[in-house]
Amino acid sequence: MGRKPFNPDLAVGGKEAATPMANRKAAAREHLTVWQLTQQIKDAIESCLPSTVHVVGQLSNVKHHSSGHLYFTLKDDRSEIACIAWRSVASKLKFTPSDGMDVLASGSVSVFERSGRYQLYVRSLAPQGIGALELAFRQLCEKLKDEGLFDTHRKRELPRYPQRVAVITSPSGAALHDILDTLRRRYACAEVVFCPVAVQGAGAAGAIARAIRRVNREATPLGGIDVMIVGRGGGSIEDLWAFNEEVVARAIYASAIPVISAVGHESDVTIADFVADVRAATPTAAAELAVPQSGEVADELTYLFSAMARSMRHRIDLGKARLAAAAERAMLSDPARLLRERSARLDILSFALTSRVGGQQSYLRRRMAELALVLERLAPERFLAEMRGVVRVRGHRLTMALSRGLADAGRRVEARALSIQRSSPSVRLAHCQDSLDALSARIHRSIAHALQDAMAEAEAQGTRLRAMGYQATLTRGFSITRLKRGRALVRSAEQLRVGDQIVTELASGAVESRVLDSNQGELFE
């Protein structure tokens, strides 16, 4: 359509628009506050837009505030809008929003009066291309896997013969009856501890986690829990979601009791299955894994009893054969023969020992006699006295020789001095006097050194004499016995007569004694 021609009547001040324009001028003359203007903008936006809008976009600048509110920006390739999800909404999200995620946000658009900025107040948030629960499942799986909760090396083996089994499930579900029937049918001797919990709905995950912790805490007062079954019957992913919660996964991971996860049917997989020690396809399969078959246990006991009986018979037969073989030995048929052989062997050993001891004693006596003769020939005290005399004589001779040398030197010096006095000036006399002093000092040093060497030699000779003397032998526990009359050495018992006075010289002191019996066989009591 073409553009309409200008109509002056419709312009400002025209006839037809006189009344509306008058109202507008009256309104323009009114002054608005910032808040009033913001309220009018807010009312205009809320009145023009529907109460609920659904916006598709990409998340950015996602911030999880400490208050629990969620702030983020929703954008596309042409524009962006600020968004906020209050804590009541953010706490119910099954997944964790993050930057770059494509989502569908539903809520209302309004103006934040304080900053005058319009934003989307989100009441629901869902990921695009994948369900919220599926995304939450994947995110939590990745987180727990990185922390090691799925590691297979930490999973424990189930006890082979459990005495007490704990069951955590709903009291009204079919899973409980299936588990109890299977346990009663397979292994009736096992005691069942039932802990009823809600397995779906709000608060179910917390109740399951508390039940797991309670069973671990009260296991000892109950007499010990060998294995724990945690699960429920089948259902939708929403019904099974309590077993995908992080609080349940961490409770299973922290359990000191082996846990069997039995959630839903065989096709249902939950995070509890990944964390548990053993995953069962159904609650019935969990009960079959928890306990053995009574018939199989009975067959195994029968086999073990038969094996034990065979082993006992074999041991008895082997013992009989050994007893028969031992009975045929000569040692048992004639025990006295063994005693006679051992007695003869003992006599031979005793004779050999006596001969050897006697030979050693004879050798020691001969050796002591030889050493005594050497000591008598050496006469250490006399030799030491002679050496001291020699040292004194040599010292006297050395002193005389040195005196003569000094006298000769003095005479030569005096003669030299007289010669110098007669033929040389006083300077040469002083020089000769210095030479005389140096010569005298050297002579004195030579005398002192010679005397010191002589004394050191004498002391060394004395030390060697003392080491070779019989007193050193006495300090090692030996003694010398002499007849009191004549001081003759006693080298053999044949020298002694009853009543002889003998003196035994020890390392320290001497002991006088009298011979009572020179032919006594036993000398010591």
φ and ψ at residue 387, rounded to 5 degrees:
-65, -40
202-240 burial, b at 16+ Cβ within 10 Å, e below that, comes to eebbbbbbebbeebbeebeeeeebbbbbbbbbbbeeebb
Count of CA atoms in the C-beta half-sphere (13 A) of 355: 6
Of 25-39, 182-196, 308-322, the poorest mean pLDDT is in 25-39
By DSSP bridging, strand 191-196 and strand 164-169 are parallel
pLDDT in the model for residue 378: 62
Cα–Cα distance measured from residue 435 to residue 432, given in angstroms and rounded to the nearest whole number: 5
pLDDT digits (tens, 9 = 90+) for 169-193: 999 888 899 999 999 998 888 899 9
pLDDT value for 23: 56
Q: Is the pLDDT of residue 520 over 80?
A: no
Residue 425 confidence (pLDDT): 55
Amino acid letter, 189: C
Q: Which residue has the higher pLDDT, 404 or 413?
A: 404
Cross-strand bridge partners of residue 230: 168, 261
pLDDT in tens, 419-428: 666 655 565 6
Secondary structure (3-state) at 264: coil
Q: Does 6 have pLDDT greater than 50? A: no
For residue 258, the model assigns a pLDDT of: 94
- Where residue 40 falls among pLDDT bands split at 50, 70, 90? confident
Average pLDDT over residues 43-50: 82
If DSSP codes are grouped into helix, strand and coil, which group holds residue 73? strand
CB 171 within 8 A of CB 161: no
Longest dimension (CA), the chain: 179
Q: Is the pTM of this model over 0.75?
A: no
| 91: CB partners within 8 A, 6+ apart | 68
Side chain identity at residue 518, one-letter code: S
**pLDDT score for 424:** 54
The pLDDT of residue 523 is: 56
58-84: average pLDDT: 88
For residue 18, pLDDT over 50 is answered with no
* pLDDT tens digit sequence for 93-119: 878 888 878 888 889 898 888 888 889
Residue pLDDT, tens place only, 195-244 = 999 998 888 999 999 999 999 999 888 888 999 999 998 887 788 888 98
